[in-house]
Amino acid sequence: MTEINLFEQDTPLRFERILIYPYPDLRRLWVRIWLPARLEGDAPNVELTVYNPDGTENNGLVLLAQTDTKLNHTLHLKDPLLPGETYRVEALLSVGLSKDVDQADRQTFDLTLEFRDPEAGEPGFGTAVTSTDDH
């Protein structure tokens, strides 16, 4: 009998895609992250941080040992909000839950604080490392 492995362990662990849409109120961000399928013991951690235009940290989220390949979260921004200004986003992907965490990937990109409507096909903010299906 032939065994079919659905996990691609020889593929480097990295973000496949990160996509962020600011909500109309500009206080919340819809965060979508695609990860490769991994074995449960190799479940990665995701840390996403949003920096204000002046470089200070606004807010972030930390997701430990993720087994899902498509993550959807809402991130709330802290005051003061600066509509139309450029914020910086840093995403870190790591493996491990101790002080010996191994960083696997780091992505950074700019986000302009303006509403983008995904239903109307407007582009979000983010990065695509490899092409993937977003459904």
More confident residue, 41 or 48: 48
Residues 26 and 114: their CA atoms lie apart, in Å, by 7
Indicate whether 134 belongs to any domain: no
Instruction: Dump pLDDT digits (tens) for 68-103.
Output: 999 999 999 999 999 999 999 999 999 988 778 899
Domain range holding 121?
17-128
Look at residue 84 in the predicted model and tell me its pLDDT.
Answer: 97
CATH number of the domain within which 87 lies? 2.60.40.10
Look at residue 10 in the predicted model and tell me its pLDDT.
Answer: 61
Indicate whether 102 belongs to any domain: yes
Indicate whether 1 belongs to any domain: no
- For the ranges 34-38, 86-90, 126-130, the lowest mean pLDDT is seen at 126-130
Indicate whether 87 belongs to any domain: yes
Quick check: 49 pLDDT over 60?
Answer: yes
Mean pLDDT of 19-44: 90
Indicate whether 78 belongs to any domain: yes
Residues 32 and 20 sit within 8 Å (Cβ to Cβ): yes
Q: Which amino acid is at 107?
A: Q
Give the total number of structural domains in the chain: 1
Indicate whether 10 belongs to any domain: no
Look at residue 92 in the predicted model and tell me its pLDDT.
Answer: 97
Give me 1's structure tokens. Answer: 């009998």
